């Protein structure tokens, strides 16, 4: 099994790149987000790999970080979500957004991924909700994110942990935080806004 490929970025196309390593050119399918982060052709890159083997074809899927790779591997465990479907989620949403949507039963956000219907989004939530911990998710930052985005994402998960410590379920806490949080808010500000929403409920 291939864990990653390190080599020269030879070319890029619609949804894929070609990386030359050891005299072999590997065609690797990537999300638009990962494609946008790639350096110029001719530069050396390291791309994490998932190898999908079928009877008549071997396909490579690539990720800019191990966090993306790990989330992809979890997504393809969901019945009805194959490699292309998992890549569709990552093409539209950052890993933290996917995790937060799963924790908060946010079918609408997950349905933004191209080709993903409401039933598939619901199935992803049902099968993966209990497989994520908020503490784990805080560390799942894409390296290319701005520091402000990273702080904002971390604050959301810290607020969720604070609410669960107060006795709310993780799903209730994630839903309230998702509805109350805005860019730039601190953990304390998110917590106060989320508590107000939960009291009204």
For residue 186, the SS3 value is coil
Q: How far apart are CA 98 and CA 22, in angstroms?
A: 35
DSSP code of 140? -
CA angle 117–152–101, rounded 5-degree value: 20
Tell me where in the chain the CATH 2.40.50.140 domain(s) lie. Answer: 4-64
Of 77-91, 112-126, 169-183, the least confident: 169-183
Tell me where in the chain the CATH 1.10.150.20 domain(s) lie. Answer: 67-200
* pLDDT surpassing 80 at residue 76: yes
Extract the tokens encoding 5.
């490929």
Q: How far apart are CA 176 and CA 132, in angstroms?
A: 18
pLDDT score for 14: 87
Q: What is the CATH number of domain 4-64?
A: 2.40.50.140
Q: How far apart are CA 60 and CA 45, in angstroms?
A: 15
Is the whole model's pTM more than 0.85, yes or no? no
Q: How far apart are CA 16 and CA 166, in angstroms?
A: 46
pLDDT score for 98: 87
pLDDT score for 28: 96
pLDDT score for 42: 95
Q: What is the mean pLDDT of the chain?
A: 82
Q: What is the CATH number of domain 67-200?
A: 1.10.150.20
- pLDDT confidence bin for 142, thresholds 50/70/90: very low
Share of the chain above pLDDT 90, in %: 30
Q: For 129-143, what is the mean pLDDT?
A: 57
* pLDDT surpassing 70 at residue 5: yes
């Amino acid at each position: 099994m291939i864990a990653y490929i390190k080599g020269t970025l030879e070319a890029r196309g619609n949804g894929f790149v070609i990386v030359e390593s050891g005299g072999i050119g590997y065609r690797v399918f990537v999300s638009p987000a990962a494609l946008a982060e790639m350096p110029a052709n001719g530069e050396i890159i390291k791309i994490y790999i998932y190898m999908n083997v079928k009877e008549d074809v071997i396909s490579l899927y690539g990720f800019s970080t191990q966090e993306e790779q790990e989330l992809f591997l979890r997504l393809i465990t969901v019945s009805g979500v194959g490699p292309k479907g998992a890549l569709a989620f990552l093409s539209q949403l950052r890993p933290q957004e996917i995790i937060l949507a799963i924790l908060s039963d946010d079918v609408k956000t997950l349905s933004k991924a191209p080709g993903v219907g409401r039933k598939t989004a619901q199935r992803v939530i049902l099968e993966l909700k209990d497989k994520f911990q908020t503490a784990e998710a805080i560390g799942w930052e894409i390296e290319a994110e701005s520091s402000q985005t990273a702080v904002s994402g971390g604050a959301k998960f810290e607020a969720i942990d604070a609410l669960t410590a107060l006795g709310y379920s993780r799903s209730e806490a994630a839903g309230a935080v998702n509805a109350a949080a805005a860019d730039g808010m601190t953990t304390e500000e998110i917590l106060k806004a989320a508590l107000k929403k939960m009291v009204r409920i």
